[in-house]
Every structure is written in structure tokens, then in C-alpha cells.
């Protein structure tokens, strides 16, 4: 298939591009490079040996996107990853989050309809489950209850829009993938997460502490009702997440489906820090800090539906993720900017 990857230069996008190319597909990227760099695409090309036509533009620029799709026709499918993703920022700038995340999705669906593209895989998030009522989370678990931030709400709204579009168009094959916590990097050390400023997420933060760029990890709460008192999450290696997109694309049938992409294995904050200490061979100082507002004690996936229907399952462990993240971190201490 020829696949248009929106946000294809980002952390998940670049790994998904590699997985698609390695599975025999052709990839085109549209990315405004606001959270990443064209260097990521160059490295995808280096790893795969493929040429990846790339349009640096906002997906909401319908004329530019249409021209790009026509230039590379026929485009068979879209994997839609473009969007803003910082939870805290979305609370401070809700209108920008709705504008970018919902706006890109609507623009994309319009271009797909006009250009006869009938398959879409959308990057959603386990955030749509809000505070879990029961664990593990299945695709039938309730969504939309007490979503704490506009970021999660945009994912929920886009799922609804895509579901409605599929209900109205019998040709449309639409899939939402609810990601749990993506971590790790490409094992080559060439592609990884490149957060600007001080990272919000745990593994990038821990890695910055391991390399000495930050003094210590603040463990947000040690009095949760969990085995060691710290938060439990389902950390999925980004390469496993990427292969989930390939499986979803290849198996998509007319209609709308939702799949969890997670390991099903809860890992605590302290367990992740310990795994990173093993991978890096460094001591990682940490101190207990207050709970972070909006955090839930525990969230993890039941990945059985994706296993059953897509024939997909995770292969990599938290230790693999820490090792690969550390390789990326040590080879690229300044991210893509150092290239």
C-alpha cells in the first residue's frame, strides 16, 4: 500500500514509517515539523534505504495536502498521527489544542473523501478512558468520564468524528488505536523521542537524570493503593506500537474498530527507574514528591482484542525499552538538534 503518514517525523511517526517500509509499504509524510525535525525523516531513509517524500506543511492546509496526495496518487491509506500531545499545555491552551487536533482530523477526512482514500488508522490514547473503573482496560471500558484535560478530550472527539464518518460511508475502513505509554527508541539509536525543554513524561525525565542533565527524579506520589505505592502504567516499546499500526492497516475492514495497544503488564514508577538503572549502569537519584494533579493510580491495557483480531502482540520488555532509550540518549545528547 502507499500510505500517507501525518505527523510522520514525530517520535511515533518515525518508528511507524520504519515499520511500514519494512513491511513492504511505500510511505509519504506530511509534518509541520513543529515538534520534530526533518532530520528524523533523513534517518528513517538511512535505516530503511527508502526514499520518503515529505511535505513540510500543516495538515489543515487542504490545498497543499491535496496537491501532495495527487502528486503521489494513488494513495491507499492514511495513518493519522499529527497533533499536539502535551497534557499540561492543553489545559493552558485549550483552544489551540481543539483547533490543531480536531482541525487536522477534519481537514484530513475531507481530503480523503475528495481523493478517494478509504482507509484511516488514527492515533488515539488510553487517556480517553479517564479514571478507570476496573482494570485491565478493555475497548468496552467506559470512555469520556471525567477526562481531566483538553488533550484527552480532543482524542475522544476525533474518535467520535471518525466513527460517524465510517457509519455514513460504507467504503470507509477506520481504526482508532488507543496507545498506552510509549517508551523506548529504535535499537539503532538513530531515532528516538526528542522532547523540547524539561520532559513531562517519566522515561525521558529519568533518562535526563541518568545522563546528568537533571539532578533527580521527582516520584509523583508514593502512597497510591499499588504494590509499592507508586503509579502503575503500561509502558509499550515504540517499535511494538509501530508494528500495531501496520497490523491495523493491513487488517482494516469496512466500518470502525478500536484497539488498545499496550502490553497488559503494569509497571510502577520505581520499577521503571530500577530498569533504567540496570540499562544505563548509572545510579538514578530520586525523591518522593506530591502526587501530580490529574494522575490516576493505575492504568493498563487488556490487549486481547488486538491479539485476537489483528494477530498483533508486543515482543519487547521494559528492559528493552530502557536499553534502546539509553542508546538514543547517549548517541544524541541534544536530540536531532545535535546532528
- The footprint of ligand UDP (CB under 6 A) covers 181, 200-202, 205, 217-220, 231, 233, 269, 292, 295
Q: Beta-carbon neighbour count of residue 102 at 10 Å? A: 17
Least distance from ligand UDP to the Cβ atom of residue 300, Å = 10
Q: What 3-state DSSP class applies to 49?
A: coil
Query: By C-alpha distance, which of 230, 229, 192, 228 is closest to 211?
Result: 192
- CA-wise closest residue to 31 among 14, 56, 52, 12: 56
Residue whose beta carbon is closest to ligand UDP: 231
* Least Cβ distance, residue 129 to ligand UDP (angstroms): 11
CA 176 – CA 155 distance, rounded (Å): 10
Nearer to ligand UDP, 184 or 231 (CB): 231
CB of 158 to ligand UDP, least distance (A): 18
Nearest residue (CB) to ligand UDP, 78 versus 203: 203
Which of 46/292 has CB closer to ligand UDP? 292
Cβ-based nearer residue to ligand UDP, 193 or 257 = 193
Alpha-carbon span 147 to 31, nearest angstrom: 28
User: At its nearest, how many Å lie between ligand UDP and the CB of residue 285?
Assistant: 13
What does 258-285 look like in DSSP terms, one character per residue?
EEEES-S--EEHHHHHHHHHHHH-----
Between 222 and 332, CB nearer to ligand UDP: 222
Of the residues 11, 97, 151, 336, which is catalytic? Answer: 151
* Cis omega (within 30 of 0) for bond into 55: no
Smallest CA-to-CA distance from 148 within 103, 198, 90, 201 is with: 90
| Residue among 67, 80, 70 at smallest CA distance from 29 | 80
- Is 151 an annotated catalytic residue? yes
- Minimum CB separation of residue 217 from ligand UDP in Å reads 6
Q: Report the catalytic residues.
A: 151
Amino acid at each position: 500500500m502507499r500510505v500517507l503518514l501525518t505527523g510522520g517525523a514525530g517520535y511515533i511517526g518515525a518508528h511507524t514509517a520504519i515499520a511500514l517500509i519494512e513491511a513492504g509499504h511505500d510511505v509519504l509524510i506530511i509534518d509541520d515539523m513543529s515538534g520534530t525535525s526533518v532530520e528524523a525523516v533523513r534517518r528513517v531513509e538511512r535505516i530503511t534505504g527508502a526514499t520518503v517524500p515529505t511535505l513540510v506543511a500543516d495538515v489543515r492546509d487542504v490545498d497543499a495536502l491535496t496537491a501532495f496526495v495527487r502528486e503521489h496518487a494513488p494513495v491507499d491509506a492514511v495513518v493519522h498521527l499529527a497533533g499536539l500531545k502535551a497534557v499540561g499545555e492543553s489545559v493552558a491552551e485549550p483552544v489551540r489544542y481543539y483547533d490543531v487536533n480536531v482541525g487536522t482530523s477534519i481537514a484530513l477526512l475531507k481530503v480523503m473523501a475528495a481523493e478517494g482514500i478509504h482507509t484511516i488508522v488514527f492515533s488515539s490514547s488510553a487517556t480517553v478512558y479517564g479514571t478507570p473503573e476496573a482494570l485491565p482496560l478493555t475497548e468496552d471500558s467506559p470512555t469520556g468520564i471525567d477526562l481531566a484535560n483538553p488533550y484527552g478530550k480532543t482524542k475522544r472527539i476525533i474518535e467520535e468524528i471518525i466513527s460517524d464518518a465510517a457509519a455514513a460511508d460504507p467504503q470507509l475502513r477506520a481504526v482508532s488505536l488507543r496507545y498506552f505509554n510509549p517508551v523506548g527508541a529504535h535499537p539503532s539509536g538513530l531515532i528516538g523521542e526528542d522532547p523540547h525543554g524539561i520532559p513531562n513524561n517519566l522515561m525521558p525525565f529519568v533518562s535526563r537524570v541518568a545522563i546528568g542533565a537533571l539532578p533527580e527524579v521527582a516520584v509523583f506520589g508514593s502512597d497510591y493503593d499499588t504494590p509499592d505505592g507508586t503509579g502503575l502504567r503500561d509502558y509499550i516499546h515504540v517499535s511494538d506500537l509501530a508494528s500495531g499500526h501496520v497490523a491495523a492497516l493491513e487488517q482494516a475492514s469496512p466500518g470502525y474498530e478500536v484497539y488498545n495497544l499496550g502490553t497488559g503488564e503494569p509497571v510502577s514508577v520505581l520499577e521503571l527507574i530500577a530498569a533504567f538503572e540496570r540499562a544505563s549502569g548509572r545510579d538514578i537519584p530520586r525523591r518522593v514528591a506530591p502526587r501530580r494533579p490529574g494522575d490516576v493510580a493505575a492504568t493498563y491495557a487488556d490487549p486481547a482484542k488486538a491479539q485476537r483480531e489483528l494477530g498483533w502482540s508486543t515482543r519487547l520488555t521494559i528492559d528493552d525499552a530502557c536499553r534502546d532509550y539509553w542508546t538514543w540518549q547517549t548517541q544524541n545528547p541534544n536530540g536531532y538538534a545535535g546532528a
